[in-house]
Structure 1
Amino acid sequence: MKRGLLSVYGWRLYALPLLLVLSLFIVLDVAREPDQSGGGPVAIGSAGQGRPEPTDESGEAGEAAPQAPEIGEEVPGARFDPSIVAAELPGGGPFPTVGSGTFRVLPGTTELLGSSAGLVYDYTVEIETGLDVPVDEDGYSTMVQDTLSDERSWIGNRHPGLTQPVGLRRIDDENSVPDFRVILVSQSLAQERCGGAVEYEASCRVEEYVYLNAARWVRGARDFQGETTRYRQYLINHEVGHALGLGVHVPCDVHGGPAPIMMQQSWSLSNDVLHSLSPQGGYVADGKVCEPNGWPSP
């Protein structure tokens, strides 16, 4: 005999649908509840890592705020406060600290560049032997030659400090006697030969020796904002300028303009700072600050 559904299942016939409705309500309520951890929605990147999507103020996806560099880290394009003494060596990679104290001529020659009617100088490109940290000798040699062969350098004969036209010729014959020798030297030898009243990393010219400090060659100067190439062009042109007879350092003359090549840009681009470092060095504390410049005639 068949019995009715109500007589078979009784109250369970009504309870089951009610239970399903109640369960659905709980699920929807939990889904709407905000995250209690304080974090927002997590975007899964292409690498499968869950990290918050950077947003701008409008709430749209944008670029994350840049992270500040660590102390001592040099970032191209970073701006350093010109009121802070910039003469300290910047952070960066390793550089030669010691060597043998003897030099080796690197191969390479040029024809006479510039003028043959005035003062003609033969020069060599050399490096200290036995450096404890190797350097790119070919890159160094090419940089010196390319810089001194550029019309913006001394062969352009447009620098007001030159009293006569200049011609330059690179030689590599060890039996010939150059007029000046451009030499990349270790930090310790530069300190020995170029040490003075100001105790910051320096390069210098002594008689026919143009000493380029490897610490500066690798690290540059803080006010050059990480632009190593432009700093090296400055370093070469500045010290060779001394070899050409320009013995006086020159202050910033136009505020915001390119620094004179004979300004001590390794230490600062501010006349005030350079005056404080070397009160007898010809700098006047007049508030002028120049922009970095690597050329006698930019």
Structure 2
Amino acid sequence: MRRRRRRSLLVALLLVAVAIGVTLSRAGGPPAEVPATTQGRVGHGGGAGAHAAPTAYPSAGAGRFTAADGGTPVQGTDGPLHRYRVAVERGAGQDVAAFAATVDEVLADPRSWIGSEELRVQRVAEAAAADFTIYLATPVTSERMCAEGGLSTEGYTSCRLPGRVVINLARWLEAVPDYGAPLETYRRYVVNHEVGHEFGEQHEACPGPGEPAPVMQQQTYGLEGCVANAWPYLDGHRYAGDLVP
């Protein structure tokens, strides 16, 4: 009887040990695959959203885009008409109508490029009718698109190619470190900066510490002592710095 009890006890202990081992093995296995995402902080760098909860966004998307429907009236008083289209990468998690509305608001502002009274803008829906397209693309896609024109962005910055303005999703959602202004200001800046290139504008330098940064300054890489500024026209006059060679 004693031997049978000892055998039964040993068998029970072995079964418990095996069960524990299986549980530990499962717990230590590789995690389930999740979609590729990058985690950042909206308003990063001291903007209005600097203390907001982190936001996750895809680092790569489908590589295909959905264009915004409809269009806008002509904005501006005089000069050649530049028609633009707006498109958002599928899988980017961004609403194309909302992105288009922000772009429209920026480009229709009298502090934007129409402030020169030498050009006008209008959003259109059809690619054939557009002079250029403004894309919102994930970091991987934006890097690929910019590289097609020989530009290296390392998946970080936005860019402009002839007929293409490519806005990096990460910058649209996070801005940049130490920008010192709300996310909304950075978004206005990046639209005006890249569209400025489409209109033939070149990079400019910070005029001096404490001065507004020219919109054609590469503010994404740092303000160089200047203060964040989203507009090419201040107080009704074109605000600019020295051209960067």
Normalized against structure 1, the TM-score is what? Answer: 0.58
User: Residue 123 of structure 1 aligns with which residue?
Assistant: 84
How far apart are 1:199 and its partner, in Å? Answer: 4.0
Measured in 2, the distance between the counterparts of 1:107 and 1:169 equals: 13
Q: Is the 8 A contact 2:88 2:137 kept in 1?
A: yes
How far apart are 1:112 and its partner, in Å? Answer: 1.4
Deviates most, 102-111 or 207-216? 102-111
Measured in 1, the distance between the counterparts of 2:230 and 2:45 equals: 19
Structure 1 residue corresponding to 2:107, chosen from 148, 153, 160: 148
Measured in 1, the distance between the counterparts of 2:176 and 2:228 equals: 10
User: Residue 166 of structure 1 aligns with which residue?
Assistant: 119
Q: Is the 8 A contact 1:92 1:219 kept in 2?
A: no
Superposition CA RMSD, Å: 2.4
Q: Is the 8 A contact 1:123 1:179 kept in 2?
A: yes
How far apart are 1:201 and its partner, in Å? Answer: 0.8
User: Residue 116 of structure 2 aligns with which residue?
Assistant: 157
User: Residue 93 of structure 1 aligns with which residue?
Assistant: 55
Normalized against structure 2, the TM-score is what? Answer: 0.69
Measured in 2, the distance between the counterparts of 1:217 and 1:208 equals: 20
Cα distance, 1:155–1:226 mapped onto 2, change above 3 Å: closer
Q: Is the 8 A contact 1:99 1:128 kept in 2?
A: yes
Q: Is the 8 A contact 1:180 1:209 kept in 2?
A: yes
C-alpha offsets along residues 142-181 of structure 1, whole Å, 9 cap, x if unaligned? 11000001000011117xxxxxx1111111134x331111
Cα distance, 1:108–1:222 mapped onto 2, change above 3 Å: farther
Amino acid in structure 2 at the alignment position of 1:106:
A
- 2:230 alignment partner, SS class: coil
How far apart are 1:198 and its partner, in Å? Answer: 6.3
Instruction: Note the residue ranges of structure 1 that are not aligned, 5 or more in a row.
Output: 1-71, 81-90, 159-164, 271-288
Amino acid in structure 2 at the alignment position of 1:296:
P
Q: How does 1:233-272 map to 2 (within 5 A)?
A: 233-246=188-201, 248-270=202-224
User: Residue 169 of structure 2 aligns with which residue?
Assistant: 214
Structure 2 residue corresponding to 1:295, chosen from 231, 236, 245: 231
Q: Which has the larger radius of gyration?
A: 1
Q: Is the 8 A contact 1:223 1:292 kept in 2?
A: no
Q: Is the 8 A contact 2:196 2:216 kept in 1?
A: yes
How far apart are 1:223 and its partner, in Å? Answer: 3.0
Deviates most, 233-242 or 135-144? 135-144
Measured in 1, the distance between the counterparts of 2:220 and 2:47 equals: 17
Q: Is the 8 A contact 2:213 2:227 kept in 1?
A: yes
Cα distance, 1:140–1:166 mapped onto 2, change above 3 Å: same
User: Residue 14 of structure 1 aligns with which residue?
Assistant: none
How far apart are 1:194 and its partner, in Å? Answer: 2.7
Measured in 1, the distance between the counterparts of 2:47 and 2:161 equals: 34
Instruction: Note the residue ranges of structure 2 that are not aligned, 5 or more in a row.
Output: 1-39, 235-245
Amino acid in structure 2 at the alignment position of 1:155:
I
Amino acid in structure 2 at the alignment position of 1:256:
G
Q: How does 1:13-162 map to 2 (within 5 A)?
A: 74=44, 76=46, 92-116=54-78, 118-129=79-90, 131=91, 133-157=92-116
Measured in 2, the distance between the counterparts of 1:150 and 1:197 equals: 31
Q: Is the 8 A contact 2:66 2:96 kept in 1?
A: no
C-alpha offsets along residues 84-111 of structure 1, whole Å, 9 cap, x if unaligned? xxxxxxx941223112222221023112
- 1:223 alignment partner, SS class: coil
Q: Report how many aligned residue pairs link the two structures.
A: 187
Percent same amino acid at aligned positions?
Answer: 33
Cα distance, 1:228–1:108 mapped onto 2, change above 3 Å: farther
User: Residue 129 of structure 2 aligns with which residue?
Assistant: 177
Runs (4+) of structure 1 exceeding 6 A deviation are: none
